Structure 1
């Protein structure tokens, strides 16, 4: 007996959401993409024009949504903007949806919920200690969702890179990048792997409630930057910079996500960036 294609709503169907939509469509899902703007969505994705900050705009959501992916983007990097979408917007959307039909919610959060661990390994069992407002608000959103009692899974993503996210390469090429004078770990995930992880979690019959979305290879920041600079034909960045703020020094483990059956296409950010550099060179 054929299983009907799931009806999936991607709330915040931007870059990563659009990539996830393409993966889900290839698997037969009917995908709805919620956006504030009228910017075009990938072919075949049903546009839902709505604003998570406007209750009235959520009055005509599609019926029978069985799977929800929540990954909006704040207008600005301020506490007010983050709360508006990751906490208040989530509550408004869940109030507007027929949650009785929901079989799975994936809330896309961030590894920013973890504090500094001195370079030690961090996994899903590590207690969150957000060093900045962004991590604190995302963590509040996670907890609000858990309080709803829905079949929900949180995916905490590491730093994204990929097509359209090449500012690091530009800074290295221009000699503007710096690395900290003390050791600091970089944790990354390619945008296509982030999208693939989202789609993967929607296929699991009994996913756990939390996963870390990161590649296989945490790298010392000076190693990552130095190897990329070499590929670009640029000098290695000098160790005169400050440690990245609001992140914390740690190595993120993807062991749980891997154990669920997910295999990243780009397990090492050096290879992923190398492909970007080659694509830029034509």
Structure 2
């Protein structure tokens, strides 16, 4: 039986689970509480750190890692030598479009130089390189800003805490979690070791437009605009505004045959709102 070992089985990996009905799926998580939630989804949950993953790595036909690097990649820090000998036929690494750095609103694709502007971006570039050196059938997925059920702008807009922060020329790409899942499933079905894929929608947009559209969908006042110079922001939030770029996604369509379910944020937000209504 095909077995996926999903290291760091979080938001994106959980969206993949329903698409792999013929797989045994083993997912790691950091707490017993989260393990119980994964178990309810039909996942064989393992708490890691805390469990030796060696037999799972050696028994997996497919490996997906969603674990973000800190100073270094925590999976490689513990299991690099084990992974060198892993028999997996497909390995996926979830990275970020932050590896491209700031392009002042210009376009990037998978061949663009990696010029990260943040510490997080530099750590991702280093982690991508370290995974690539293991000799595995590696596939790298550079994800844009992720949204999806339970992770969208509506809660903040309803609570009155959403802000339309304005930075001239700022533009982001984003991706719905279910489109990430279908890209991963398509890659698993058509392995191409060494491939790198940008995962994003077709419509890079200024963040304030997304917030305004969410407010309009809810029928509430559009939050006031705040200049970035005047905005109080966490260092993490401010780091996102340090980079502006538009990300091309041609490769997932041309190589993997993916048709995006949510090609722009308008379609994605309308669907999230419809689901919320259906859940009440």
Counterpart residue number, 2:203? 217
3-state SS in 2 of match to 1:240 = strand
Deviation for aligned residue 1:232: 1.4
In 2, are the aligned partners of 1:65 and 1:98 still within 8 Å (CA)? Answer: no
1:102 alignment partner in structure 2: 88
**In the alignment, what sits opposite 1:271?**
267
TM-superposed CA distance for 1:256, in Å, is 0.8
Q: Distance in 2 between matches of 1:237 and 1:109?
A: 32
Alignment partners' CA distance in 1, 2:206 and 2:52: 45
Q: 1:152: which partner in 2? A: 138
In structure 1, which of residues 111, 114, 117 is the aligned counterpart of residue 97 of structure 2?
Answer: 111
Once the 2 structures are TM-superposed, how far is the Cα of residue 89 of structure 1 from its aligned partner? 2.0
TM-score using structure 2 length: 0.84
For residue 82 of structure 1, give the secondary structure of its aligned residue in structure 2: coil
In structure 1, the residue corresponding to 2:259 is in which secondary structure? coil
Q: Extract unaligned runs of 5+ from structure 2.
A: 230-236
1:196 counterpart residue number: 182
Determine whether 1:137 maps to 2:120: no
Q: How many corresponding residue pairs?
A: 263
Distance 1:237 1:37, change over 3 A: same
Task: Indicate the residue corresponding to 1:170 in structure 2.
Answer: 155
Residue number among 11, 15, 21 corresponding to 2:11 in the alignment: 15
Match of 1:83 in 2: 71
Superposition pairs for residues 25-64 of structure 1, below 5 Å?
26=21, 28-38=22-32, 39-40=35-36, 41=38, 42-51=40-49, 57-61=52-56, 63-64=58-59
Provide the residue aligned with 1:240 in structure 2: 226
CA distance in 2, matches of 1:124, 1:62: 28
Give SS of 2:227's match.
coil
Query: Aligned pair in 2 of structure 1 residues 181, 63: CA closer, same or farther (>3 Å)?
Result: closer
Structure 1 stretches of 5 or more lacking a match?
74-80
Q: Secondary structure at the match of 2:70?
A: helix
| CA distance 1:61–1:206, shift in 2 (3 Å) | closer
TM-score calculated relative to the size of structure 1: 0.84
Structure 1 residues 169 and 194: alpha-carbon distance in aligned structure 2, compared to 1, 3 A threshold = same
1:81-118 deviations in Å (ceiling 9; x for gaps): 7235xx13234234335734121211000111121111
| CA shift in 2, pair 1:106/1:234, >3 Å | same
Counterpart residue number, 2:234: none
Q: Deviations over 1:244-282 (max 9, x none)?
A: 633311111111111121222111111111122233344
Indicate the SS of the match to 2:269: helix
User: Which has the higher mean CA deviation after the structures are superposed, 14-23 or 246-255?
Assistant: 14-23
> 3-state DSSP class of the match of 1:206?
coil
Q: Within 1, Cα distance between the matches of 2:107 and 2:125?
A: 20
Alpha carbons of 1:181 and 1:89: their partners in 2 closer, same or farther (altered >3 Å)?
closer
- For residues 98 and 207 of structure 1, the distance between their equivalents in structure 2, rounded to whole angstroms, comes to 15
Report the Cα distance in structure 2 between the residues aligned to 1:109 and 1:209, rounded to whole angstroms: 13
